[in-house]
Amino acid sequence: MIALIQRVTQAQVDVNGKTVGKIGKGLLVLLGVEKDDDRMRADKLAEKVLNYRVFGDENDKMNLNVQQAGGELLVVSQFTLVADTQRGLRPSFSQGADPDLANELYGYFVQKCGEKIQVATGEFAAEMKVSLTNDGPVTFWLQS
């Protein structure tokens, strides 16, 4: 399971011209689910996302996590994160989870994070337009 996290001052997801998820300060989490992922990996990644220290403290050092910074999460399913790009000029998605497993683990990840912090979401398997203001820019690749 992979999370590409971006520290943002705002982010939103639109589907068919309608906003389905929106946050202010927090993390945009692009989430990719691989075929061997399970709830244990989702738990581990949720803990990491919630506790990863990417927000500035009073000395502007990255010592605060999203919860301590009073931020929110916007979690967007993104299967392209699990693409194999090592060979050729076209990505392979052979490591991606089947849609049923991916949707189940996406929902589970959102639920686990939602137990501790405000979470907005995109729409699984929809054609989404994601907009954000990356703060920093600060972007990290996390994997469980």
Q: Is 139 a catalytic residue?
A: no
As a whole number of angstroms, the distance between CA 61 and CA 57 comes to 5
Q: Is 93 a catalytic residue?
A: no
**From 80, 85, 111, 133, the catalytic residue:** 80
**From 6, 12, 78, 121, the catalytic residue:** 78
Q: Is 79 a catalytic residue?
A: yes
**From 6, 12, 55, 79, the catalytic residue:** 79
pLDDT of residue 48: 98
Residues of the chain with pLDDT under 70: none
What confidence tens digit (pLDDT) does each residue in 57-79 have? Answer: 999 999 999 999 999 999 999 99
| Cβ neighbourhood burial of 40 (10 Å; 0-12, 13-18, 19+) | exposed
CA 49 to chain CA mean position, Å: 8
pLDDT of residue 90: 94
